[in-house]
Structure 1
Amino acid sequence: MPVRESVTRTSALVRHNLLLMLREPGPLLSRMILPLVFLTLLRPLYVAAQGRAAGTEQAVVGTLVTFSLLALSISGGAILTERLGRTWDRLRGTSVHPAEMLVGKAVPVFVALLAQQLLIIGFGVCAFGVSVPHPLPLLGVLLSWSATLLGLGALAGVLVRSMGELSAAYDIGGMLLSSLGGALVPLAVLPHWVAAVAPISPGYWAVRGLRAALAGDIRTSVAASGTLLAVALACGALASVRLRGRGGRLVAL
């Protein structure tokens, strides 16, 4: 059956891409370990400025959003590697559909992004006593934010032309989106114009959604999740358009 064959091919691609990621674990491990070090070292500063509960929450949320944006290197690099290696061209003449290739590449990256965020939240709960009274809204925000990161990374991966350009994109772009979103520094203490333009940053909606979920504000967390999913869909659509050449065929560069 065509559907069963498609699922089989997609599953094989997911396993293959997962193995490729695990064979070069350095970038993945750094994105997992560095946030925990950063959180441990910076939390006392936030606690001194905002109090124990508020400071700890700021540290956890800020670390999660900042380092997950820097993890755009994982999703962007996954796409760019295939482009530079001309893998798209080699698979084009096979029975593998472009959508199957993209799903096979996206699923391991999505799992890695979500795992990073769950690790940071879990570390905050176990090490610093962060309270998560409403886990389902929190999980909804994390899933939406992971989808957004996947879309942003894919878009970066199809627009840049080299690993150097990708590195600059996620370093500069990640810190910019994080800062505009109020992840590292609360918007209340930043210049007024920063707060005015903050909603254009996906990081703003991630911070807003995470804080609302931790506080039990379901309506705000759902609204933030919806905004993040809209951004994810828009970025994914743009990335797909860029990957498709005339006649709906994938292009390498």
Structure 2
Amino acid sequence: MSPHESAARLGVLVRHNLLLMVREPGPLVSRMVLPLAFMTLLRPLYLAAQGRTAGTEQAVVGTLVTFSLLALSISGSAILTERLGRTWDRLRGTPLHPVEMLVGKAIPVFAALLAQQLLIIGYGMVAFGLSVPHPFLLLGVLLSWSCTLLGLGALVGVLVRSMGELSAAYDIGGMLLSSVGGALVPLSVLPAWVADAAPAFPGYWAARGLRAALDGEAHTAVEACGTLLGVALVCGALASVRLQGRSSRLVAL
């Protein structure tokens, strides 16, 4: 099977999934607007506790990690909707490889996730004077974190069996991963066991990498990027394997 044929099929999938996302813009718009309101309301609390520079950084990083995790709903629902509509079964009967199916879903979602994060960073810079002295280092962390979110979203999308399960997964999981990872509250003020467990959660590495990028700590930022990309690869591989088996099908009760 030639790379040209694969690229052509992938292009069709990307256009189709982009059209589906544009037709239902509600979830995407809410994930863009709510973080800005959240950051505006909570920033004074962080300023009072940490000072202007550290408080602004905490508000931006905490908001970005929390709401990008909640945006897993966009990735997960894109896959689950196809499964509920039995579209996966029809696609499985075509020459499409499961990886192509995932990538075709992933590209529009990746663009949406990255746009959300850039919007939060841009709003922090314009409205609150957030300093970004190393933009390329920060972009590297954002791209790595977006890949992780895609992998997590794809895995959740092929594991859950209903929209209710998906909603519970990203609501509970998103808040848990961001909180335990030190995004909303600095780990220094949380119980010691939380700080010990935090490195096991991707939200910790996202927050750590973002802070390092904003502070110009290249080594720490690169370490965080490597960890996040490793999580993305593992989750994406598990999702692909799941799609190849019969377990990805939803059987009507």
User: Is the aligned partner of 1:24 residue 2:24?
Assistant: yes
Provide the rounded CA distance (Å) in 2 between the counterparts of 1:129 and 1:202.
27
Q: How far off its partner does 1:49 sit?
A: 0.9
Q: Deviations over 1:167-222 (max 9, x none)?
A: 00000010000001101100000111110101011000000000000000000000
Paired position in structure 1 for 2:95: 95
- CA-based RMSD of the aligned residues comes to 1.2
Amino acid at match of 1:225: C
Paired position in structure 1 for 2:15: 15
Paired position in structure 2 for 1:42: 42
Quick one: which of 240, 249, 253 aligns to 1:252? 249
Provide the rounded CA distance (Å) in 2 between the counterparts of 1:27 and 1:85.
19
Provide the rounded CA distance (Å) in 1 between the counterparts of 2:232 and 2:127.
32
**Pairs aligned (count):** 250
Provide the rounded CA distance (Å) in 1 between the counterparts of 2:121 and 2:50.
19
Provide the rounded CA distance (Å) in 2 between the counterparts of 1:251 and 1:55.
44
Could you list the structure 1 runs, at least 4 aligned residues long, displaced by more than 4 angstroms after superposition.
none
User: Is the aligned partner of 1:76 residue 2:73?
Assistant: no
8 Å Cα contact 1:89-1:251 kept in structure 2: no
8 Å Cα contact 2:98-2:240 kept in structure 1: no
What secondary structure sits across from 2:107 in the alignment? helix
Matches within 5 A, 1:164-175: 164-175=164-175
User: Is the aligned partner of 1:209 residue 2:209?
Assistant: yes
Amino acid at match of 2:249: A
Paired position in structure 1 for 2:132: 132
8 Å Cα contact 1:148-1:228 kept in structure 2: yes
Q: How far off its partner does 1:73 sit?
A: 0.3
Amino acid at match of 1:240: S
What secondary structure sits across from 2:130 in the alignment? coil
Provide the rounded CA distance (Å) in 1 between the counterparts of 2:177 and 2:92.
35
Q: How far off its partner does 1:93 sit?
A: 2.2
Matches within 5 A, 1:113-128: 113-128=113-128
5+ unaligned residues in a row in structure 1: which ranges?
Answer: none
Provide the rounded CA distance (Å) in 1 between the counterparts of 2:154 and 2:21.
16
Amino acid at match of 2:236: G
Q: How far off its partner does 1:98 sit?
A: 2.6
Paired position in structure 2 for 1:191: 191
8 Å Cα contact 1:177-1:201 kept in structure 2: yes
What secondary structure sits across from 2:182 in the alignment? coil
Paired position in structure 2 for 1:230: 230
Q: How far off its partner does 1:12 sit?
A: 1.2
Q: Deviations over 1:67-107 (max 9, x none)?
A: 00000101111111111111111122223333222211110
Provide the rounded CA distance (Å) in 1 between the counterparts of 2:121 and 2:185.
19
Identity %: 80
**What TM-score, normalized to structure 1?**
0.96
Q: How far off its partner does 1:41 sit?
A: 0.7
User: Is the aligned partner of 1:221 residue 2:218?
Assistant: no
Provide the rounded CA distance (Å) in 2 between the counterparts of 1:251 and 1:80.
10
Paired position in structure 2 for 1:51: 51
Provide the rounded CA distance (Å) in 1 between the counterparts of 2:221 and 2:207.
10
Q: Deviations over 1:39-68 (max 9, x none)?
A: 011101110111011100000000000000
Amino acid at match of 1:252: R
Q: Deviations over 1:215-251 (max 9, x none)?
A: 00000000000000000111111111111117xxx84
Paired position in structure 2 for 1:161: 161
